[in-house]
Amino acid sequence: VTEDVRTDTYDALLWEIDRIAPVLRGKTKDLSGQFSTVRQVRGDGNCFYRALCFAHLESVLHNARALQRFKETVVRTYEDFSSAGFDETSFKHHLNTVVDVVERCQADEQEDTLLRLFNEQMTSDSVVQYLRLLTSAHLQNQAEFFCNFVEAPNLLVYCQQEVETMAMECDHVDILALSQALDICIHIVSMEGDEQQVAHHVIPEGAEPSLHLLYQTSHYNILYPRPQH
């Protein structure tokens, strides 16, 4: 999330999609009926991680109990790193960055504070690195389950090359792992495929999502549902 991140009415984005790919017209109509606003996220290969953390914090910003619960979850992930054999020097700084971001949000509960923090390059990138390392740790701690879903020579190689490395796009297995590690439910709305309607994926299935992400052409933005009347 950088300085050009903004909240726009969806009309402009829908017009641009229609102009570039008329075949998406059915999808854009379906999308605009369900979501009113999008927040654009920098397309640097880290968009999923950045979008997830920003959107989740935004969703609990005015809920003191939920914000504290998320902070406690982050602190407990120290054990996940230790179990996976990570050296403290590789993750502690990034973990502390996330805790600091949450504490600043607790201090004033202002959207502007959250946006400013994610617009600070060093802070935002450190948050992303924490999420990548946590995803890797969770994959390794649950290797018996996840090893069947990666194509690399082995799970450790996959984690080191595809997950921990900045700017590498995430795969479905990474999304599932991070969702489990942070106990966050994610709703992904996909523009991919030949259907006239958008596809919906809730991870994990059956749970109530705290955030909504738009996936199109290997990029994630943040969606805001229309108010329910």
> Per the domain annotation, does 118 fall within a domain?
yes
> Per the domain annotation, does 67 fall within a domain?
yes
> Per the domain annotation, does 166 fall within a domain?
yes
- Confidence grade of residue 20 (pLDDT, cut at 50, 70, 90): low
> Per the domain annotation, does 1 fall within a domain?
no
Structural domain for 45, as ranges: 7-225
Q: Please answer whether residues 173 and 150 qualify as being in contact, where contact means their C-beta atoms are separated by less than 8 angstroms.
A: yes
Q: What's the domain count of the chain?
A: 1
Mind listing the pLDDT tens digit for each residue in 177-223? 999 999 999 999 999 988 888 999 999 999 999 999 999 989 999 99
> Per the domain annotation, does 139 fall within a domain?
yes
CATH number at residue 34: 1.20.1300.20
> Per the domain annotation, does 79 fall within a domain?
yes
Phi-psi region of 54 (alpha: psi -120 to 50; beta: other; left: phi over 0): alpha
d(CA 51, CA 156): 25
Residues marked active site are found at 44, 47, 200, 219
Q: Which residue shows structure tokens 């792992």? A: 177
Please state the pTM of the whole predicted model. Answer: 0.92
> Per the domain annotation, does 2 fall within a domain?
no
Mind listing the pLDDT tens digit for each residue in 57-84? 999 999 999 999 999 999 999 999 999 9
